[in-house]
Amino acid sequence: MVAVFIMINRGFWVFTDVSKSLSMFMLEKALGPPIDFVEGKKGSAATTWILHGALWLIPSSTVTFCGLWLAHDPDALHSLSSWGLNPSSPSLIVSGFLITVYGSIGMLLIGAAMHIVPELGGTDLATEKNATLMSLIWTLAVFVMFVATNNPEILGFKIMIVSTVLINLALLAIIVNLLITAASRSKKMPLPGWMMIIGLISAPISVVSLVVSGSIDTGIGQWLATRMAGTTFFLMLSGALLYGASRGSGNPLWSRSLAAVTLSGAIITISPAGLIEGDVAADFLALDKAIFDPSRNDIIAGSFLLALSLIPAIALSANVLATLRGDDVFMENPDSPGMPEINLAAFMIVPITIGALFISTDHLTGTNELTGIHMSLALMGIWLVSVPASLGSALSIFPEVSGRNVLSINRSRWAFWLMAGGAFSGLVFTMMADFSDMTLTEAAIEEEIRTANRLRVLGSILFYGTVLGAIYHSMNMISGTFRGSLVGAESSESSTSISSPYKLTKETTIRKILAQREGKLDTVVIPETTTEDQGRATEL
């Protein structure tokens, strides 16, 4: 990473221009006709990735909902067996988990990175066309991943590796694209931009380090393996959250030191987010799961690094919450797109990290007393932290990259409450059922299993709110790209700051203005003249 940082700043000695030209050739001309199928105007790549990510929320939440339902009614989808499909609750929950992480969260964050890195570097994305094209490859990879989770072998061939290859192919192109962008920056790039870049490169760098050193079965090798997903997603989430919080609220980033702690902490420590079993990681790399079994020393070091991961989580949460609020306890611009989601993610990150720490340490030490609630907590981490954080950040930059606002703030608010309320209440009830199952199984009481099943029914039905919220959000964003108010139409002038489709050329009423101004009427004070003289008052 240090080498990459130096090369971005200093270049490749005399090969700088050659490597840039060669990379640009590989990203555009070398791809031949397919590159001409996609749009290359500014912001099109970020818009495409964000829209793909938002649309992936619908299958992600639907598959997760079906997985939760099948936990209490395993035969509910038996009619699909006539098509050769035999979905079960664990397979649907794991596939829902993966397509949420790679389809929704991954695509929303990469879309955000394609705006954040050039914006903070004061430059343009190196190639919009290649970035747009790669969104299609990534979407195909996520689809293959979904199939592979439910049907790992087709014609005797393990297909998860196909998904890994496709994702890494797209990731490589995105990384080269963003590195060229960062190398051509015209100003010093703030920390959120570096978080996005380091987050993206940490996955391939850790894989290359593992292959070169051949140390997968050692403690250091396993630490490197945890960089692949944990560090990548945490750093990108952090960068997107910090950028979105500042941009949406209009407040400067509260603390650079806390941002630096978040960055360094994410690189060193082990994130407790994600699944604990290791099956998925083994499938991704086509390895045997047994290779991840830790030694006694690894357990001690791993527990220590897990505990340390609370530091970057707290630093991130405090920084985002303080940035959103500015000088008082109230959030600035609460109706600004994405602000409620960012606020929710910042609130939930600390309690869920603490919960995940307990479960990870419990599993790592072989106690396994809390393994029963692991999946519900992992889903909480996804739907109450990662999805709101990535979606909120993407929503906050969506108007700028697409040129239009989302269609309706009111629908956006509904979508937030449906998603947040559905995920929170649904998963809390599911976790209650998990606790009930753990307790009753331990006491060997079979009759009372019905209690847990009833809670699961309630939990899965409430989680359906997340599906509805995802549909609302997607429709709002898609309609916004066609009919949303133009971003440039809003100016600081008091008369035009009323986001209204009609002109104020005749009489109007306060009721009408309030209806268009989301219930707020404010007076804008505009300086009449400005002066460079030090200490002289500004005339209003």
Residues that bind other proteins (CB under 8 A): 55, 58, 62, 65-66, 69-70, 73, 75-77, 79, 335, 408-410, 413, 461, 464, 467-468, 471, 474-475, 478-479, 482-483, 506-509, 511-512, 514-516, 518-519
Torsion, Cα 65 66 72 73, to 10 degrees, reads 150
Quick one: 435 or 464, whose CB is closer to other proteins?
464
Number of H helices, E strands in the chain: 20, 2
Q: Which amino acid is at 352?
A: I
Specify the residue, 35 or 471, whose C-beta has the smaller distance to other proteins.
Answer: 471
Shortest spacing between CB 37 and other proteins, in angstroms: 17
* 300/471 with CB nearer other proteins: 471
Q: Which is nearer to other proteins, 4 or 76 (CB)?
A: 76
Closer by beta carbon to other proteins, 69 or else 254: 69
| Nearest partner of 222 among 186, 152, 270, 258, judged by Cα | 270
Q: How far is the CB of 499 from other proteins (least distance, A)?
A: 8
The two structure tokens encoding residue 364: 């790592």
Contact 87, 77 (CB under 8 A): yes
Cβ nearer to other proteins, comparing 58 with 175: 58
Whole-number Å distance between alpha carbons of 253 and 250: 9
CB 129 within 8 A of CB 38: yes
- Give least dist CB 330 to other proteins, A: 17
- Measured from the CB atom, the residue of 185 and 413 that comes closer to other proteins is 413
Kindly state the smallest distance separating residue 217's Cβ from other proteins, in Å: 43
Q: Are 389 and 285 in contact, with CB atoms under 8 Å apart?
A: no
Q: How far is the CB of 333 from other proteins (least distance, A)?
A: 14
Closest CA to 241 of 57, 394, 125: 394
Dihedrals φ, ψ of 385, to 5°?
-125, -65
Name residues whose C-beta falls within 8 Å of residue 39's C-beta, 6 or more positions apart in sequence: 128, 129, 132
**What does the DSSP assignment read for 442-501?**
HTT--TTHHHHHHHHHHHHHHHHHHHHHHHHHHHHHHHHHHHSPBGGG--SSTTT-S--S
Contact criterion met (CB below 8 Å) for 204 and 168:
yes
Q: How far is CA 133 from CA 128, 184, 483, in A?
A: 9, 22, 25
Cβ 471 to other proteins shortest distance, Å: 4
Residue with smaller CB distance to other proteins, 42 or 413: 413
Residue 223 CB, nearest distance to other proteins (Å)? 40
Cβ distance to other proteins smaller for residue 343 or 460:
460
How many alpha carbons fall within 13 Å on the CB side of residue 3? 4
DSSP state of 343: H
Q: What does the alpha-carbon distance between residue 75 and residue 55 come to, in Å, rounded to a whole number?
A: 28
Report the residue number, 187 or 511, with the smaller CB distance to other proteins: 511
Nearer to other proteins, 522 or 528 (CB): 522
The residues that bridge with 529 in the sheet, in sequence order, are 539
Q: Kindly tell me which of 183 and 407 has the beta carbon lying closer to other proteins.
A: 407
Question: Closest distance between other proteins and the C-beta of residue 272, in Å?
Answer: 31
Q: Of the candidates 411, 152, 177, 180, which has an alpha carbon nearest to the alpha carbon of residue 283?
A: 152
Closest approach of other proteins to the CB of residue 42, in Å: 21
For the bound state, the minimum distance from the C-beta of residue 66 to other proteins, rounded and expressed in Å, comes to: 7
To other proteins, the closest distance from the beta carbon of 422 in angstroms equals: 12
The angle subtended at Cα 280 by Cα 354 and Cα 93, nearest 5°, is: 70
Interatomic CA distance for residues 181 and 185, integer angstroms = 7
What 3-state class would DSSP assign to 158?
A: strand
- Block residue for tokens 């978040």: 262
Minimum distance, C-beta of residue 518 to other proteins, in the bound complex (Å): 5
Radius of gyration, alpha carbons of the chain: 24
